[in-house]
Amino acid sequence: MNHLPPKDDTDSDDHVLPPPPMPADELARYSPSRDPDKERDIALYVEGQCRGEEVVQNVELIKTEIVAGQKYEMWDVITDKDRLWVIDPMTNLYSQRNFPSLDYTLSFHVGLMMRIRSRPTGAEASEPSPFDEVLRRQEQAGDLFDRAVEAEDFQAVGVQLRESLLSLLPAMRRRVTLPDAIDQPQAGNFLAWYDLLMDTLCPGESNKELRQYLKHTARDTWQLVGWLVHDRDANKTAASIAIHACETVLGHSLQVLQRNARDFTETCPVCKSRDIRSHFDPFLGDDGEYYSTCGSCRWSSHQGDDDEEDASISS
């Protein structure tokens, strides 16, 4: 039987040594697609979290993933001392020494953010809110409902729900600037006040359908709660529906108050995309300034970009 001759390990021609690793601060030069503005945001965040003790050498977007309707960006960040994962939104960093798997890190991040978002509200919250009384009365209505047996017990649920709706009005008024010339209703006139607030928060013809829906829902809920308070045959089913109806009105009210932040409609002047992002450059002006970029066409309002464009035109 023929055998291959033994391999001579001393023959240098049979050995191929890998090239030395590329310096981290050179990696960006060979990236086919980059987002310099977002990379700068991530780098500033990391260096801020490290309190200036580490210097970011490279930032690279590894992938994006949508979880429960939320888009998450996962970044690989190399500093002069460590290698980190940075996941955004609710930006947080994780050392790759402790979190070697990116998939596991994303799962951990999503779970952590869900726990943060679900921290107690109302009386148990760490920070006061104008809606604490509303939430407290909603909770009290739920407690009464759980213990209710007789018709008057369910009527008491209606009383708490009515007070919850009334306490919603001053909480909303703290967040809304009403026109000076408008006549304000009496403090206890829930329907008139809610109509006025919706007219202010959802103005114009484009919001007509939304405005009417919110008003009608609040009106029907107020009437349902009033009926429950005076119904001598009040029962579990009616009280349960009233509780859920009040929770719906509260949820709608909170969403409308936050719509300016949620329904961001600024568009790119170049491609008309709504994917407009805000960045901060500490080197702009005396104290740093914010600027905007387009995630679709990479348009930027950064003053430095205008200067570079002017220089290229003049040359």
pLDDT tens column, 110-123: 998 888 776 655 44
Q: Specify the pLDDT at position 144.
A: 94
Q: Specify the pLDDT at position 252.
A: 93
Is residue 129 domain-shared with residue 258, that is, in the same domain?
Answer: yes
Is residue 222 domain-shared with residue 283, that is, in the same domain?
Answer: no
Domain that holds residue 273: 268-302
Residue 309 lies in a domain: no
> Which residue's structure tokens are 């609710």?
90
Q: Specify the pLDDT at position 19.
A: 73
Is residue 205 domain-shared with residue 168, that is, in the same domain?
Answer: yes
**CATH for 129:** 1.20.120
Q: Specify the pLDDT at position 10.
A: 53
Contact 195, 226 (CB under 8 A): no
DSSP string computed for 284-315: STTT-EEEEEETTT--B--HHHHHHHHHHHH-
pTM: 0.55
Is residue 87 domain-shared with residue 184, that is, in the same domain?
Answer: no
Is residue 130 domain-shared with residue 255, that is, in the same domain?
Answer: yes
Count of the separate structural domains present in the chain: 3
Is residue 33 domain-shared with residue 112, that is, in the same domain?
Answer: yes
Q: Mark the ranges of the chain whose per-residue pLDDT is less than 70.
A: 1-15, 25-26, 28-32, 118-129, 260-265, 304-315
Q: Compute the distance between CA of residue 153 and CA of residue 230 in angstroms, rounded to an integer.
A: 12
Residue 136 lies in a domain: yes
Residue 52 lies in a domain: yes
Residue 247 lies in a domain: yes
Is residue 191 domain-shared with residue 108, that is, in the same domain?
Answer: no
Is residue 222 domain-shared with residue 278, that is, in the same domain?
Answer: no
Is residue 158 domain-shared with residue 35, that is, in the same domain?
Answer: no
Q: Specify the pLDDT at position 123.
A: 47
Q: Specify the pLDDT at position 259.
A: 78
Is residue 160 domain-shared with residue 78, that is, in the same domain?
Answer: no
Residue 3 lies in a domain: no
CA dihedral 146, 151, 152, 158 (to 10 degrees): 60
Q: Specify the pLDDT at position 315.
A: 44
Q: Specify the pLDDT at position 311.
A: 43
